Chains A and B, each alone.
Chain A
Amino acid sequence: MKRYLVIFLLTLPFTGCETEEVPLYNSPDYISFAIRQQDTVVLSFFLLGNLSEYDYPVVVRYTGVPVVEPRPFAVSVVNESTTMPGDKVSLPPALAFQPMQMLDTFYVKLVNFAELQTTSKMVTIALQENSHFFLGDKNYRVLHLVVNDNVAKPDWWNARVENYFLGAYSDKKFRKLMEIVHPDLSNTSESWIRAWALEFKIYLAQMAEADTPVTEDDGSLMSVTVRM
């Protein structure tokens, strides 16, 4: 018995010499939008700077092992849930995910038209499966865009802005301000608002002097409160 025990103990160390292959990660490749389907994106041509057309950036996410070659992916407009006229929305003819990246961006071209001032239109785009990509998380496969040219009183146009810079709010005044001054609404500090108001004040005075005064809808002269 003792002899068998010795033999067993002698053979034990040799088990450490066994080699085992480590399996490599080999997941399928998935693609998805960076924005959740439920998070509908609202775009106003007016608030974007009174634009006639706009290239909306859509971010797509890749899940898988990065590869060195660009790989095509497919997106389409979902006609059933799109109310935007076909000639007012377009996608790039070919899309390819950049190599060695986990995020990429493509652009949906949207064209402004008169009806958008009074109504909003929906654009729905969806990712398509192809030979390179499976579809990723089901909540991130479809993107809804609500597009309009609406104007509304922004949060920053508060009582202080009324008193010191731009005066009482009206949709017409806001549209005119955007048209003439082209303000960058991403920075609404008082210094910037004052600068917009000064430029707008000069414009209004020049229009009045040229006998082409700018008026509000009720016929009164459009004015701002900034001092100069």
Chain B
Amino acid sequence: MKKLAIPSVLFLLFAWACYEDKGNYDYNDIMVNKITIRYPVYSVSVYLGDPVVFTPTLTYANKEQADTNIYTWEYHFNYLGLVCTERNMNKVFEEVLPGRSYDGIVIATDTTTGAKYTQNIGFTYRSPYVVGYLLLANEGGKSKLHLLRELNGNWSKVEDLYRVTNNAELGTNPTGMDINRRGRKEVRVMQDGPEGAIVLSGDSYQRVCTYGEEFLGGTLPAGFKPKAFSGGGNVAAMLGENGTIYTKTFSGVYASELFAPVPCVYGTTPLDVQYLLMDAGYMYSPYVYDRNTSSFYLLYGASYYYAGTFSPIRPPEGWSDPVVPPPNDLSDYEIVAARVKPSDSYDVTIVAMLKKRASGELFVYTISHGGSGSPAARASTLTLDAFTAASSVDANTMYHFLQTRPYFFFTGGSAPSKLYCYDLRTKSAWEFKDYGSRILAMESNYTNDNALCVALENGEVYVEDIQESTFISGEGKVIFNASLPGKVVDIDYKDY
């Protein structure tokens, strides 16, 4: 037996050479059906309740072999997982958070080769009424809120937003509006009607409370009619039409405390506040201008320890300029308009239009202030320049200072349908547009200051492109135009 074993093994080894290998040793390109997945927009914003739509277009590397049916599709998103296996995704998500960015990836798998092709995509759900120009209008005595909004480059309007969200009337006889960008991020509507001034949620526009309920005792102080509101880091202020101002301090949480029904004074002098300045969402401390003392004040709110302190803004150390007045003694001037332009939470430039009492001359006055954020901080620089377009304005002129750019807009005096723009650097003005109807209100998108919303007496509303390129070209560009019912009383820009 052993004699046969070795020859048998040897035979098999030799016979192995006769085996015909029928394997395929050619190189086949699995990327033969390579595609590139493209979308018009890779990261889209969608209003809550609307579908998220992704419709890809495919670019084929090998057009001869283009076959759209050989791919399987998968859409994966953070927090959500696999949500779609169709090529075109069109899906409404219920359990999503407004404002959260849902990053994802789409994967197309070639079923003939197994090759996978991917593209990064994403979407963000927005509350439908959170961002845009909010316009408060008087329609036959009734208060109406309208919204002009933009999404993915498309503008639209929402009329009577309060009825849309609450199916009820907002109130009557509107007088003004403020947005509290700190704390509850709310919309505050002032009205002369029996409903009074009310506070609305900035998301849902549900009624939060009345102005009176924000005071100790639950009602507004006797004779107090709200005119303006500002909320800072640790202080909030409410200004009345009679110049009285009330404050509350809080340790970071706006809603934790109530307003003290004690009118603010400086020393023993009652304040007669003309302007309560705080337009951006990032400042800690509002500023005020008081007519009784002809002085600008910082209402400190950067820390709780000093919150509520009114500090007159003093000129720079050793200031002795005979022409430029100090901000704590402007008794030779009336303040025609004022606005604060913040560059960060502490540092601001206050821009004011001053009218010299003796001569009636108009000046553009600026105060740079802030730095350390201390209540005792002095102004760092002061400037006073003659307003070169004084002949175009009168007592009824409206001014709108851009917060982040060196321009301001103003309406014509004898021609209230005309809108002018003034360059603070060149100290020159030009006519921006003649609308043919009286301008009632205007507001810019303060975060970029590249668009201006203008409301007219004839019910038309324009969103104007005010980018530098538009100024240079000299040709106005309307981003959006709409007609709204009622007369616009106030405009605010909402950015959250």
Contact = CB atoms under 8 A, between A and B. Distances in A.
A198 interface: yes
Interface in A8-58: none
B284 interface: no
Contacts of A209: 267-268
A186 to B, nearest CB: 13
A195 to B, nearest CB: 4
Contacts of B309: 227-228
B268 A198 contact: no
Nearest to B300: A227
Given A198-B260, A199-B262, A227-B309, A192 B216 contact: yes
A190 interface: yes
Contacts of A199: 262
Contacts of B277: none
Contacts of B264: 198, 228
A191 B265 contact: no
B258 A191 contact: yes
Contacts of A61: none
A195 B305 contact: no
B315 interface: no
B268 A206 contact: yes
Interface in B290-308: 300, 304-308
B268 A190 contact: no
A60 interface: no
B301 to A, nearest CB: 10
Interface in B243-269: 247-249, 257-262, 264-268
A227 B249 contact: yes
Interface residues of A, number: 16
Nearest to A181: B262
B54 interface: no
Given A164-B305, A227-B300, A228-B308, A194 B268 contact: no
Contact of A191 (B257, B307, B310): B257
A125 interface: no
Contacts of B257: 190-191, 194
A226 interface: yes
Nearest to B257: A191
Contacts of A198: 260, 262, 264
A228 B307 CA distance: 8
A228 B264 CA distance: 7
Interface residues of B, number: 23
Contacts of B248: 191, 194
Nearest to B270: A202
B260 A194 contact: yes
A75 interface: no
B310 A228 contact: yes
Contact of A205 (B261, B268, B307): B268
Given A190-B257, A227-B249, A195 B262 contact: yes
B260 to A, nearest CB: 4
A228 B249 contact: no
Given A191-B248, A192-B216, A205-B268, A227 B258 contact: no
Contacts of A226: 308
Interface in A198-217: 198-199, 202, 205-206, 209
B2 to A, nearest CB: 104
B262 A191 contact: no
A194 B310 CA distance: 15
Instruction: Describe B's contact surface by its main secondary structure.
Output: loop
A198 B216 CA distance: 13
Interface in B28-78: none
Contact of A227 (B216, B259, B261, B308): B308
A134 B248 CA distance: 57
A195 B304 CA distance: 16
A194 B235 CA distance: 13
B186 to A, nearest CB: 19
A191 B260 contact: yes
B170 to A, nearest CB: 28
A191 B216 contact: yes
A192 B216 CA distance: 7
A191 B217 CA distance: 11
Contact of A195 (B261, B268, B300): B261
A209 B265 CA distance: 14
A198 B263 CA distance: 9
Contacts of B260: 191, 194-195, 198
Nearest to A203: B268
Contacts of A191: 216, 248, 257-260
Interface string B225-251: 000000000000000000000011100
Contacts of A202: 262, 265, 268
Contacts of B308: 226-228
Contacts of A192: 216
Interface string A170-207: 00000000000000000000111011001100100110
A226 B248 CA distance: 11
Contacts of B307: 227
B267 to A, nearest CB: 6
A205 B270 CA distance: 12
Nearest to A200: B262
A42 B376 CA distance: 48
Given A191-B257, A195-B216, A195-B260, A228 B268 contact: no
A161 to B, nearest CB: 13
A146 B491 CA distance: 63
13 contacts: A164-B305, A191-B258, A191-B260, A195-B260, A195-B261, A198-B262, A199-B262, A202-B262, A205-B268, A227-B300, A228-B264, A228-B265, A228-B310
Interface of B: 216, 247-249, 257-262, 264-268, 300, 304-310
Given A195-B262, A227-B249, A227-B308, 18 more contacts: A164-B305, A191-B259, A194-B248, A194-B257, A194-B260, A195-B216, A198-B260, A199-B262, A205-B267, A205-B268, A206-B268, A209-B267, A227-B300, A227-B306, A228-B247, A228-B265, A228-B266, A228-B308
